[in-house]
Amino acid sequence: MAQKAHQSAAAGRSAPAGRFTKKTLAFLRALERHNTREWFHARKDRYLAEVRAPMVELVQRLAADLPAFAPDLVANPRTSLYRPYRDTRFSANKTPIKTNVAAVFPHRLLPKHEGAGFYLEVAPKHVWYGGGIYMPSSPQLHLLREHIAAHHRRLARIVASPAYTRAFGTLEGDRLQRVPRGFAKDHPAAEWLKYRQFLAFCERPAEFALTPGFYKTLLTSWRAMAPLVAFLNEPLVAGLKAGTLGTAWTDADW
C-alpha cells in the first residue's frame, strides 16, 4: 500500500503542468451546444477546474520559460487570460459565452492588443497558436512600414529562417493591392509594405492540446517566432518612448 501511494505521488509530481484533458474539450463542446448564461453559471465550477485551471497553469509555466527567448513579453494569468463572456453589443452573434479558452502574451510596454505578441486558443475543434500584430492603429502601421522600409532585409531573413518556416511557413495577414501612399512603387520592400496585419499561426485539431508534445511545440514555435515579434515591436516601443504613440501601458490599465 505504501509503495502504491509513493508511486502515485511520484506520478503526480512528474505530470506536466498546463496539460488540458478530455474534460476540457468535453466542456467546451457541451458549451457550444448549450450556450446560455444559465447553463454556464450552473456549471461554473466545472469550467474553472477543467478549462480555466489548465490554462492558468500553462501561463504560469510560460512565465518561467518565455524570458529565455522573449523577455519583453508578459505571461501572467491576470493579464494574459481572456474572460469567458462575449461582448455582444455590436455583434450579430448574440451567444453570451466564448466557446474557447485563450491567452495572449503582449509586450510589457504596449497596449494589450496593439503591440506584437504570442496568442494561444483552445476550442472545441481546434488549437490555434502563433501571434504577431492583428490590428495596428494608423499611427502604428505608419511606424511599422517606415521600419520595414529601412530594415526589410532583416525581416526577409527572419521569415525565411528554417526554424520559422518549419513552424509557420510564411508571414500571413491582410494586404493592400498596391504599395501604400508615401512609398515608391518599385521600393525593394514593396511586397512587405503592402501588409496591414503581420501574423504567423498554426491550427491543429483540438486533441493536439492533450498530447505530451503540446507544450514543447508551443515553446519551439514561439522561439522561432520571437525574432519577428521583436522586430515588429521595435518601432512601436521607440514611438512610445518618443511620445508619438501616447503613454506607457501600466498594470492598472489591463
Q: What is the pLDDT of residue 186?
A: 95
Name the amino acid, one letter, at 36. Answer: T
Grid look-up 518599385 returns 186
DSSP string, 38-91: HHHHHTHHHHIIIIIHHHHHHHHHHHHHGGGT-TTB---HHHHBPPSB---TT-
Considering only the top CATH level, what class is 2-253? alpha beta
Report in angstroms the alpha-carbon separations of 166 from 135, 154, 217.
25, 18, 11
Give mean pLDDT in consecutive 10-residue pieces for the chain, a chain of 254 residues: 40 51 98 97 97 97 97 96 90 91 96 92 98 93 96 97 97 96 95 97 97 96 98 96 61 30
Widest Cα–Cα separation across the chain: 77
- pTM of the entire structure? 0.88
C-alpha cell at 217: 511545440
Q: What is the pLDDT of residue 89?
A: 85
Grid look-up 493592400 returns 176
Contact status, residue 206 vs residue 126, Cβ threshold 8 Å: yes
C-alpha cell at 145: 512600414
> Which residues does residue 130 pair with via DSSP β-bridges, in sequence order?
119, 201
Domain boundaries, the chain: 2-253
Q: What is the pLDDT of residue 18?
A: 55
